[in-house]
Amino acid sequence: MEVEKKDVLLQFVKDGEKVVGAFCGEPHVREVFWNGRFHEIFDPEKAAQYKVTKPALKISLNFYVPAIKVGNPMKVIEVGPACFKDISKCRDKYGTDKWLFEIVRHEKKRDKRTFYSVLPEEKIDDELRAKIANTPLHDLGNLK
């Protein structure tokens, strides 16, 4: 079954928006560029039309959100290298299979440098671990 990215992507719009969940599966890395409306796969010729010369990295991860009670709680989160480095540090220190993590968007007014904080929120109990294990992951490389 083909899944549209817009249907599963977690999007943060405002300063202070947050979500709590569990990172699942392996990350998917891709090179992209910003076309003024959204990120698209980096193509040097197309990117040049937007005066972009180098690709940016976006890392997609499956993210289980236990607060979602109706519909599929497995979502997709896309982050940049700095946030992914924080996620990797959390994985090494706490174990992403053992904890739920809070992700919060931070931005200053009129500043385009948005960043995200990643902090452990609470331990995953056996009941939640079973729910996560029984929820299929999205095929990150094939999201449309």
pLDDT of residue 2: 56
Extract the tokens encoding 76.
Answer: 């997709």
pLDDT of residue 110: 63
- The more confidently predicted of residues 12 and 128 is 128
Could you report the per-residue pLDDT of 82-132, keeping only the tens digit for each? 999 999 999 999 999 999 999 999 987 666 788 899 999 999 999 999 999
Extract the tokens encoding 61.
Answer: 């991860």
| Region for 110 from its dihedrals, namely left if φ exceeds 0, alpha if ψ lies in -120 to 50, beta otherwise | left
CA distances from 12 to 16, 129, 142 (A): 9, 26, 22
Report the distance separating Cα 103 and Cα 77, nearest Å: 10
pLDDT of residue 109: 65
Q: How many CA atoms lie within 13 A of 137 on its CB side?
A: 17
Could you report the per-residue pLDDT of 56-88, keeping only the tens digit for each? 999 999 999 999 988 899 999 999 999 999 999
Neighbours of 33 (CB within 10 A): 21
The 3-state DSSP class for residue 45 equals helix
The pTM (predicted TM-score) of the whole model is 0.88
